[in-house]
Structure 1
């Protein structure tokens, strides 16, 4: 029996996901105050169930858990009035006891694993994928995300939630959405899939998402419907959920998900964009509504040519659509597609064009591959004043992290979106705040005869920014302590991220010339931004947790004008 006594405040709430692991006669979990049992879970199923308790007393609370008879996958508590400042406090089990991990202890928790990033957001425990519901309410940013609370592997989808004032220093919030049914009990998959936030002109916030109803096959035969959730006043829980769209247009298969919703003030109606397939071709569908409750299919806004279907593309996922300086940008991920020339899969694309009278007219340009490294998927953007910001899931199913890890999944660095002089979409990193900077040094004067060596604190995340002229060849090598390496190479106008034995140099892009280059390294995460974000590459290397040396080689005729190394603190430091 594990036991913990907590000082509490009246109104404190507890969320618990628990399952019975063997027969029991005494309570699996009980709360006591003043010598009396005030809440107990006496019976539970052999699958995880959700329990919640609100404590209406200021007396210290004693929690007792029979760990031999019950498994707890997630356990936390919070006070609504202080949630925005403190977030939730998790209860974690070690060999002997339960112990709390609140905001002040997060840096210790996040420092336990060598492959846990210091700059990139990751869940406290268990599985995370797509960013959802990105929004800014007053001065606080909210990041919702696809979450499975019972394992580090993908499972029935929930929505996790975190909040920040700068998109780097986060506070964990309670789980926001759960599947409408207990899918673990049914032996099924599905749940609360991806979606977006929309704030009405009167300030009312709502969330639009897809519910995949209980499914028993990951690739066919499932049903997906669209729902709208209204949050409670503290943004800690959902107040109400209603289904708003279920009917499939003609030719649309079972993939019908990931709504993007916005309001058109000129036309005085709502639009909803959904990912789908039409007669087997990946497509994005447009729906309209006058009241956001009743939706009508309008037309197929975009449809992939047969090339994508012929190479495994099943449907469009996580479509996004936004305007920049009068030009509209469509973002699409094509799940299942494998690029025949390189073997890269699940690529993310952008298509610019015009959106007039409810019709999207693409520019006469090919699809733009957004990230040549491909560990950048399910991008979601949101508007913050005059700028477009966004995150993507920094993972693409191709690699596996250690089974001993307590979590899986990270977000990219926050990115800012703009169009360059050629009308292509650029993604620039939103730089970490100064509070995250441990040290910044410029080494351009040390660049001599086409060579630069730099030492890095092995436990630090860092960025290296290069600017220069007449760069025709460049090789930046990230060296680990025991010979592990990753390389960024520029030769013959081709920029490539590669790692020996982990890829074959297929992760690259044509770049006419290099003017600026910025690389971020964070516990095996590499994000590259060339020419102010005109070319971006993201890779997740699980073989390279630390980098203690950088070697830069380049053509001796080039002039390096900036070589700025910035080392960062953990975003979880107070």
Structure 2
């Protein structure tokens, strides 16, 4: 196979390549008929190759008996403004529109360019940009060896993809019998650079009991390349913990650094608390929180922070279901923090949908912002050509009101609204076709009424929002988890916002009193929304607006 490209202001090209048959493959880069770089491809697993380029130069690439999962231009000084430029994905050379503008691709939610992502990591603000790292498999639309993907933004909505920041360990990349890599973590920004904290996992494929998870740190002056990686907490570092030991989140609280880590401690799913003076030497304090349910193996991706004169702990609870049967919910706990002890005062589900997990927050400009992984435990997503299996929720600003955690999309999300497609006129029923199927709908109520908002219905499958008495329920005929119902309990419904983005919908009730996330796959870019109200005089306003895509030039 072969291709040509022009380097423009980029100074490097990076690619992930492996051989595809018994014979070794080859990769050759030429310029003006002369060989610039060549290598024999002998690895059965993907490995990264970085090649230095000349600027504003034409190149020719030839590869045989090899597969390239991703190849992109990078290394320019203005990389945070330009982002990387993809040349090859999944061994082909598609145009960006072929990748980004499909029925199965969100248009105003973050997704990787192609293939897999899960947890957000290292969310922070540094040198005028928001940095978002995330768990990624660059090579396929499924979980496997973990890398850290990377993107930057000025507003948490429009993103530029950057080179992958972390790779799996060398021994994992050298053996098909091992799996693991760079698992979840966080970032601390200092005047001189960024320190990240993350889990190194290594285990045998298929060997669920043979797992070693340790905490590591690395340093970066630019947030793009990381050096000086070192282990700071080895596997089984605390007596009483098991193989679950991951997802460090580090914050400064008063005069110390504190780290919360997901684990199982003395047989209970736990969030463990560590402290440090220098972020290198860490001491175990105590469990910050433990759940008594023996079915919980771990409390993944914890985050602990002050908010509106209270303290909040977020944790993704493995192995259990909510009151309404939703599997592996994210819980939020509010309470008091004193003498390294968190006293819980309330405990509630964070998101009433089934596709919300591993949230991470940052504090910037006096606001606490949260982003979560749009997970898919029931495997409802469909693998598509050059697709992305994963993505993140809209960034949500957090606040505490009457002891409850409120979550509302940040202002930059609302700024994506464009022309009005429908504005309510009196009547029990209304219907609208929406080209593009990426839109915002807001309904305001001045009293109680039963209602139904249908977001899809082809006679066999449907996605709808139903209001009745004191609940709002999101109903999907495509839900594979038959135990689950997606219900928000509310005393009074005043406002319902719907962000429909092709395969993902997010609901926000009463300016963030409740939030719900759900995926729904169907093979069309045309949407249709319809409304039915039992008492239309109790509906004060309905509006539908088109939402602008975030991936334009």
Once residues 112 and 459 of structure 2 are traced to their aligned partners in structure 1, the CA distance between those partners, rounded to angstroms, is 29
Could you say which residue in structure 2 is the equivalent of 1:178?
167
The answer as to 2:272 corresponding to 1:289 is: no
Q: Kindly indicate whether the alpha-carbon contact (under 8 Å) linking 1:314 and 1:337 is maintained by their aligned counterparts in 2.
A: no
Cα separation, partners in 2 of 1:471 and 1:193, compared to 1, 3 Å: same
Once residues 457 and 536 of structure 2 are traced to their aligned partners in structure 1, the CA distance between those partners, rounded to angstroms, is 29
Once residues 413 and 390 of structure 2 are traced to their aligned partners in structure 1, the CA distance between those partners, rounded to angstroms, is 23
Once structures 1 and 2 are overlaid, which stretch shifts more, 157-166 or 480-489?
480-489
The answer as to 2:18 corresponding to 1:3 is: no
Once residues 381 and 480 of structure 1 are traced to their aligned partners in structure 2, the CA distance between those partners, rounded to angstroms, is 36
Give the 5 Å matches for 1:5-154. 5-9=5-9, 12-22=11-21, 28-56=26-54, 59-66=57-64, 69-92=65-88, 99=93, 106-111=96-101, 113-154=102-143
- Structure 1 residue 518: Cα displacement: 0.5
Could you say which residue in structure 1 is the equivalent of 2:289?
302
SS in 2 for 1:456: strand
Cα separation, partners in 2 of 1:224 and 1:549, compared to 1, 3 Å: same
Once structures 1 and 2 are overlaid, which stretch shifts more, 433-442 or 113-122?
433-442
Aligned residues: 548
Cα separation, partners in 2 of 1:554 and 1:3, compared to 1, 3 Å: closer
How big is the alpha-carbon RMSD for the aligned residues of Structure 1 and Structure 2? Answer: 2.3
Cα separation, partners in 2 of 1:227 and 1:94, compared to 1, 3 Å: closer
Once residues 493 and 59 of structure 1 are traced to their aligned partners in structure 2, the CA distance between those partners, rounded to angstroms, is 64
Which stretches in structure 1 are left out of the alignment for 5+ residues?
none
Q: Which structure shows the higher strand fraction?
A: 2
Deviation digits for residues 429-450 of structure 1 (CA, Å, limit 9, x no counterpart): 1244576333135623x132xx
Could you say which residue in structure 1 is the equivalent of 2:332?
350
For normalisation by structure 1, the TM-score amounts to 0.90
Give the 5 Å matches for 1:442-457. 443-444=423-424, 446-448=425-427, 451-457=428-434
- Structure 1 residue 343: Cα displacement: 3.1
Q: Kindly indicate whether the alpha-carbon contact (under 8 Å) linking 2:462 and 2:478 is maintained by their aligned counterparts in 1.
A: no
Once structures 1 and 2 are overlaid, which stretch shifts more, 80-89 or 478-487?
478-487
Once residues 22 and 217 of structure 1 are traced to their aligned partners in structure 2, the CA distance between those partners, rounded to angstroms, is 24
Deviation digits for residues 332-377 of structure 1 (CA, Å, limit 9, x no counterpart): 11112234x54321111001011122211111x3x21011112110
Could you say which residue in structure 2 is the equivalent of 1:513?
492
Give the 5 Å matches for 1:153-552. 153-186=142-175, 187-200=177-190, 202-217=191-206, 219-233=208-222, 235-246=223-234, 247-264=236-253, 266=254, 268-306=255-293, 309=294, 312-339=295-322, 341-363=323-345, 365=346, 367-406=347-386, 407-420=388-401, 422-432=402-412, 436-440=416-420, 443-444=423-424, 446-448=425-427, 451-480=428-457, 484-502=461-479, 506-543=485-522, 545-546=524-525, 548-552=527-531
Cα separation, partners in 2 of 1:545 and 1:167, compared to 1, 3 Å: farther
Once residues 357 and 523 of structure 2 are traced to their aligned partners in structure 1, the CA distance between those partners, rounded to angstroms, is 21
SS in 2 for 1:84: helix
Q: Kindly indicate whether the alpha-carbon contact (under 8 Å) linking 1:524 and 1:544 is maintained by their aligned counterparts in 2.
A: no
Cα separation, partners in 2 of 1:56 and 1:501, compared to 1, 3 Å: closer
For normalisation by structure 2, the TM-score amounts to 0.93
- Structure 1 residue 279: Cα displacement: 2.3
Q: Kindly indicate whether the alpha-carbon contact (under 8 Å) linking 1:493 and 1:510 is maintained by their aligned counterparts in 2.
A: yes
Once residues 297 and 44 of structure 1 are traced to their aligned partners in structure 2, the CA distance between those partners, rounded to angstroms, is 44
SS in 2 for 1:81: coil
Q: Kindly indicate whether the alpha-carbon contact (under 8 Å) linking 2:16 and 2:71 is maintained by their aligned counterparts in 1.
A: yes
- Structure 1 residue 280: Cα displacement: 2.2
Cα separation, partners in 2 of 1:8 and 1:479, compared to 1, 3 Å: closer
Once residues 478 and 389 of structure 2 are traced to their aligned partners in structure 1, the CA distance between those partners, rounded to angstroms, is 22
Q: Kindly indicate whether the alpha-carbon contact (under 8 Å) linking 2:183 and 2:201 is maintained by their aligned counterparts in 1.
A: yes
- Structure 1 residue 108: Cα displacement: 5.0
Once structures 1 and 2 are overlaid, which stretch shifts more, 214-223 or 490-499?
214-223
Cα separation, partners in 2 of 1:323 and 1:447, compared to 1, 3 Å: farther
